[in-house]
Structure formats: C-alpha cells, structure tokens
Amino acid sequence: MGLIAYFEHLHSRTDPRILALFRILFGLLMCYEMSYYLDIDLVEMGITGPKVLFKYEGFSWVEPLGTGAMNAILGGLLVASLFIAAGLLYRAAIVYFLLGYTYIFLLDKGYYNNHFYLFVLLSFLLSFVPANRTWSLDRLLLKRWVPDRGVPYWTWIMFRLQVCIVYFYGGIAKLNGDWLVHQQPMRLALEAFAEGSALEGLLTSTPVVAFFTYGGLLFDLTIGPLLWLKRTRKYALPFVLLFNITNHWIFDDIGVFPFFMIAATLVFFDPEEFAGLFGRGQAKRKREQREEAPKGPGTDRRLVHTGLALYFTFQLLFPLRWLLLPGDPDWTTIAQRFSWRMKVSARDPVRINFYVRVPGSQATEPVTMGALINNHQQQLLAYDPRATVQFAKWIQQDYARQGRPGLEVLSAIIISYNGRPYRWWFNPGTDLASVEPDIRDPAAWVPPFEPGPEHTLSERMLLEIEKRKKKAGKRKG
C-alpha cells in the first residue's frame, strides 16, 4: 500500500463496537478512580489542606479553588465518567472530564504518576472521536444526531500508537546501568513484596529477580509490535495479562493502571472480526469495511493528517528530551516526568527535616513540617531537588511574613537510592533558600550522584538506621 493510498485508508470506515467498548471501560475505570479520590478526601488532604503546592514548571498560574468548589469539580468528574461509560451526552462529558482532570492534575506535581498523564492524553484523544455511535444512550435517545455508522480507521491508529509509545518508552527507560547490571529497583520491589511471606526466598532469589528484570525489559520493548501484528497478537495476549496482573500485585501505587492497560489491548483487535462475534453476516461486514466516510472538503482530511502528525511528533520526541540535558534524569528528575520512565528509580527516605537559622549562627530551629505539607508531599522533597529548593524558599518567605526575614533554611534529608547506602540528600549545611535551580546545569546545584564527604553518613548513623529498619520489619512481621 502506497503512502497516498494509506492516507486514504485512514478515512475508511470500520465497525465502531470496539471503540464503544473501549469508551465504556475507560469510563468505568475513571468512575472507580474518581470514587477513590472522593473516598480519601483528596481535595482537603492534597489540595486545599496543605500550605504549599508544588507546581509544574510553566504552570505556577494554576491555582486551586475553595474546598467546596474543588469537591464539586471532583464530583462532576465522577458523574462525567459515568456519562462517558453510558455514552450519554458523550462529547460534553469527555470534554468536561478532560478539562477537570487536567486541572486537578496540574495543581501539584507531587501526585504525578505516569498513568495520570496517560488518562489526560486519552481523554484528549477521546474528545475527538465518535465513540458514542453504538452501545450508547446518545444513539438510543438522539438517533438523529448520532448516526449508526462506522468510525474512521485513524481513530484506531492513534490509540494503538499511544499504547505502543507507553510500553516502548517504558522499555527505553530501563536501558540503564541500575536496571541492566544491578537489577534495581526491581530487586527492591520484589524484596518488599515478598517480605515475611512463605515465598520470600524464592521471589528474592537471583534467577527470579533476573527473570522479572530482563523479562520486563523485553516485554516493554516488544509487546507493541507483537500486539499490532495480527500473526502474533493472540500469542502476545497471555503475556499482557501476566505482566499487568503481576505489576498489580507487586506495586501498590499504580492504581487501576494495570487493568487499564489490559483493557487497552482492545484497540489492537480487528474491528470487523470483533463485529463478527455479534452475528453480523460476512457480506455485511465486508460491505461496511469497504464503505468510505463522506469525502467532505479536502481541508478536513488535511486537518486530521496535520493534527495526527503534530500530536505524535510531540509524543515521540518530548519523552527523549533528557538526551539533550546533562545528568541522569532519574536522579535529577529533570525531564523525568512525561517521559514514561516507569519504576526505574526508588528512593527510601528515612528522615525528612527542615531547619531555619540566623546567618552566622550555629543554633537551628526546626520547621514543623506536618503543619505545612502532607506526608505525600514530604516524600517529594526527598525525590525532586527543585521541590526541595522550592519548599526552602517558601519557608524563608513565610518566616519573613512573620517578621523574621533573611533566615537560612537547612535540610536534614536521608535517602537511599536504588538500594545504595543511605546518604544525605542535600548537604545539611547548605542554605537551600539561596540555591537557584538551573535545568541546564544540574551539576551546579543538584546533589552529586556519587556522594562526597559532605553527603556521607557516619558509621554510627548507618547502624542506627539499620537497627530501626530491622525493628520495623519485626513489627510488620
């Protein structure tokens, strides 16, 4: 098939039922997700309760509304997700979900997760496709405006590409020394999962850790093409199920993501073959497959081609921006988000404290962390150096508002990165309020990956940490 013929094929009709089923599953999973947010009181706990929100670069202008308004938005997202699943006022529901979910997503980067970003992207894509042409209340109630006809082939292509990008770039992120040589952080994840169980010895053994490490890498790099090709699709499906269900068991912070990725395999099935499962005759299926969408003005098709080209050029290039920047993105977190770098770094913070002091003085005053930010945000301070510095600057400004300007802000944060020995995150003697982050020169301000003397803990402190961890393990057991 030539290039011109392929572009024409993008506009041929396909059966809409797989797309409708994908819409239903997306809506139901989002309904569960929104119910969970309401159940944990996300608004009060994570948005309006903390004194500080850690904004994404370029989005500092995004501000939360009051608690009541934010809960109303979240409740609206729950209703919208039900409308999406039911196909009721679908266009309005998916646009509301896109805008509302993106708004909440942008309020604090401490809650960033790759699947949250994926849900934003998919709701964006769904807002452009007629996913309500069948199996929807819109079709039942609004037949005049919702025709029962096929959907353009390009709708399948863009969802397939998006899913393939998630998997493949997740594999690219694993091509680093910690994953390939030290089998980290997969080893840590298996140790935490198996701790205290009868299978602990087996699951933490070298062969099993190697199987999960290199098997996960191979899966991520190859599953996209295997699902895309009809010849290998049926053989790939069991691996999709095994991989995602295993992830659900091992990792406790990925929510509905594994189940969504299982559901997303729908977009790789042939729409006409799927239609045959519901009793359509072969002749009718073939006739619909050959039928083309109304030609319309050529400008419409050019808009589709241009839009797809721009969107996927961004999706293919933006996750690779870390190649243009110095430093390890998983250590500096610069260019780490929005790049599908999933489960390739793990930090274990055992102390997160901040202090203020008068310049030139040795006396320090502890900052009451719990009154300012929640536990989740505190973990971010041991992960993202820009957030650490941002918080220090906020503390200095807050004390200045109280009539105590010019104080230095120090940190006492102890972490272990991918199983390495515990160390100071920033030098405890560094005034973080005076640090000026520069993503082009992380070496000038981000703590070095290999700790120097100023970041190394004493033997006594290391022993104390190990004792506390052993006691915690015994209590857990």
Least confident of 55-64, 113-122, 267-276: 267-276
Residue-level pLDDT at 11: 84
Which tens digits make up the pLDDT trace of 329-369? 999 999 999 999 999 999 999 999 999 999 999 999 999 99
**Cβ neighbours, 10 Å, residue 191:** 15
Least confident of 68-82, 123-137, 140-154: 140-154
pLDDT greater than 80 at residue 9: no
Exposure pattern of 220-229 as b/e (b: 16+ CB <10 Å)? bbbbbebbee
How is residue 51 written in tokens? 């004194």
**Residues near 393 by beta carbon (within 8 Å), at least 6 away in sequence:** 409, 432, 433
Report which residue type is found at 146: V
Residue 234: pLDDT band with limits 50, 70, 90: very high
Residue-level pLDDT at 302: 86
Least confident of 136-150, 204-218, 238-252: 136-150
pLDDT greater than 70 at residue 313: yes
Measured distance CA(104)–CA(43) in Å, rounded: 9
pLDDT greater than 80 at residue 319: yes
Least confident of 101-105, 235-239, 465-469: 465-469
**Residues near 261 by beta carbon (within 8 Å), at least 6 away in sequence:** 163, 166, 240, 244
pLDDT greater than 50 at residue 276: yes
Residue-level pLDDT at 473: 63
- Scanning 12-152, the segments in alpha helix (DSSP H) are 17-39, 42, 67-86, 90-105, 114-126, 137-141
CA distances from 235 to 165, 229, 437 (A): 20, 10, 48
Residue 292: pLDDT band with limits 50, 70, 90: very low
Contact 127, 98 (CB under 8 A): yes
Question: Percent of the chain, pLDDT > 90?
Answer: 81
pLDDT greater than 90 at residue 293: no
Could you give the maximum distance between any two Cα atoms of the chain, in Å? 87
Measured distance CA(462)–CA(451) in Å, rounded: 15
Contact 197, 350 (CB under 8 A): no
**Residues near 205 by beta carbon (within 8 Å), at least 6 away in sequence:** none
Residue 279: pLDDT band with limits 50, 70, 90: low
Question: Percent of the chain, pLDDT > 70?
Answer: 93
Identify the residue with better confidence: 283 or 32. 32
Residue 252: pLDDT band with limits 50, 70, 90: confident
Which tens digits make up the pLDDT trace of 401-442? 999 999 999 999 999 999 999 999 999 999 999 999 999 999
How is residue 241 written in tokens? 């199920």
Residue-level pLDDT at 6: 67
Residue 352, strand partner residues = 413
The pTM score is: 0.93
Which tens digits make up the pLDDT trace of 172-193? 999 999 999 999 999 999 999 9
Would you report the helix, strand and coil content of the chain in percent, each value rounded to 5? 60, 5, 35
Measured distance CA(458)–CA(467) in Å, rounded: 14
Residue-level pLDDT at 214: 98
Measured distance CA(366)–CA(378) in Å, rounded: 15
pLDDT greater than 80 at residue 147: no
Mean pLDDT score of the chain: 92
3 state SS of 412: strand
Burial class of 239 by CB neighbour count within 10 A (0 to 12, 13 to 18, 19+): middle
Helix 17-39 crosses helix 90-105 at what angle (to 10 degrees)? 40
How is residue 117 written in tokens? 């970003």
Residue 353, strand partner residues = 412
Sequence spans of domains, the chain: 1-11+150-345, 17-148, 347-476
Residue-level pLDDT at 289: 44
The vertex-137 CA angle with 134 and 139, nearest 5°, equals 45
Measured distance CA(25)–CA(23) in Å, rounded: 6
Measured distance CA(339)–CA(118) in Å, rounded: 11
CA distances from 434 to 385, 405, 410, 414, 443 (A): 13, 13, 10, 21, 16
